[in-house]
Amino acid sequence: MTGTVDLAVVGLGPAGRALAHRAAGRGLSVVAVDPHPDRPWSPTYAAWVDELPRWLGSGVLRSRVPHPQAFGTRTHLLDRAYGVLDNTALHRALDVADVRLVRGLADTVTAETVVLRDGTEIRAHRVIDARGLRPDPALAEQTAFGIVLPTSAAAPALGDADCWFMDWRRDNGTSQTDPPSFLYAVPLSDDAMLLEETCLAGRPGLTQGELRRRLDTRLRNRGVEPPANLEVERVRFPVEAPRHTSDVAAFGARAGLIHPGTGYSVAASLSAVDDVVAALVAGHDVGKALWPWRARAVLSLREVGLAALLRLDPANTAVFFDAFFALPVERQRAYLSGRDDLSGTATTMWTLFRTVPPPIRRTLAEAGIRRS
């Protein structure tokens, strides 16, 4: 392929497509490489509504819940709107009509070239790798198994809740000594509900077979009898990224924009994309634009939180999340969202440390010592 473009983006998931879309909108010449550039995205992506950048608009939401609930050992009503993204609408909003799309697998990626498996070479002033992360035994991961049910059929699993952001009750056939998992139950539309048994973080995470068994048990215990031939969702991805040592700039989950405590990365990537594009336009270092010192410090604190989750006694998990969801919503938001509120993140963690029972406090302290 002749000519050198301003930017080559490798990977067209939500992060890569957002980068290509916003860069082309700023007048850069952009090539995007993906084996299936037009294939619809199949995973369920969700976010707190206030995380989404204003330029995206609210039309990308498939469903919206004003007050989701969480359950540790008691119910918590969360005063923060939560939404499921409409993948088709998001795909359409991240228009790439001004981007040259190249169908193929990248074999070699350097700071200024992409070589495909068929030998095609793409030259660019900047190459950004947005191919996401693959499961790795060295990385903590989140796993989940879910089914989609008609809302009426799923109703007994939710009780009076419109949405369970997390439901840690052990009616899934586990004991206090088993690795915990929670029910994630979120409306996809007025007529469909996703019910998912989720292992928040493990090294490794719980298997699909174990999660399916737990979900079946939980639903039976709540009077739900799923019909045959259901739509199924299987989830497995790292919740931490390896330290970036390549000279190739990265974006999205591959760049570490994945929250170590929740596994969410799409909203963070959408919010960070304009900082990266501004750096590209100005000829500045993309990595420094993406990771100013406050963002690095916030990530380090959240990695301490992940270490604590991995060390937490299973019997204390529900109590830990009771304490977290009892915090004021602004404290929850500081930890769950954004990347540069160092004071807010530290205050949330310190407040949580002071309010949890002593056994959990010891675990949090040990996690901090081991990460220091």
pLDDT tens sequence across 55-88: 998 899 999 999 999 999 999 999 999 999 999 9
State the residue for tokens 């088709």. Answer: 88
Asked if residue 277 has pLDDT above 70, the reply is yes
Question: Is the pLDDT reported for residue 2 higher than 70?
Answer: no
Give strand pairing partners of 32: 9, 101
What pLDDT does residue 178 have? 97
pLDDT over 90 (residue 229): no
Residue 196 burial (CB count, 10 A): 22
Q: How confident is the model at residue 310 (pLDDT cuts 50, 70, 90)?
A: very high
Q: Look up tokens 């010891």; give the residue.
A: 362
pLDDT of 262 above 90: yes
Q: What percent of the chain has pLDDT over 90?
A: 92
Q: Smallest Cα–Cα separation from 38: which of 107, 112, 2, 92?
A: 92
**Average pLDDT, integer, range 293-317:** 96
306-320: b (≥16 Cβ within 10 Å) or e: bbbbeebeeebbbbb
pLDDT at 232 over 90: yes
Q: CB of 17 within 8 A of CB of 94?
A: yes
Which whole number is the average pLDDT over 106-129?
A: 95
* pLDDT > 80? residue 4: yes
pLDDT digits (tens, 9 = 90+) for 176-219: 999 999 999 999 999 999 999 999 999 999 999 999 999 999 99
pLDDT value for 246: 80
Q: Any long-range contacts for 342-350 (C-beta under 8 Å, 24+ apart)?
A: 342/294, 342/297, 342/298, 342/301, 345/298, 345/301, 345/302, 346/301, 349/301, 349/304, 349/305
Q: Report the distance separating Cα 52 and Cα 278, nearest Å.
A: 19
- The arithmetic mean of pLDDT across residues 11-37, rounded, is 97
What's the pLDDT score for residue 226? 85
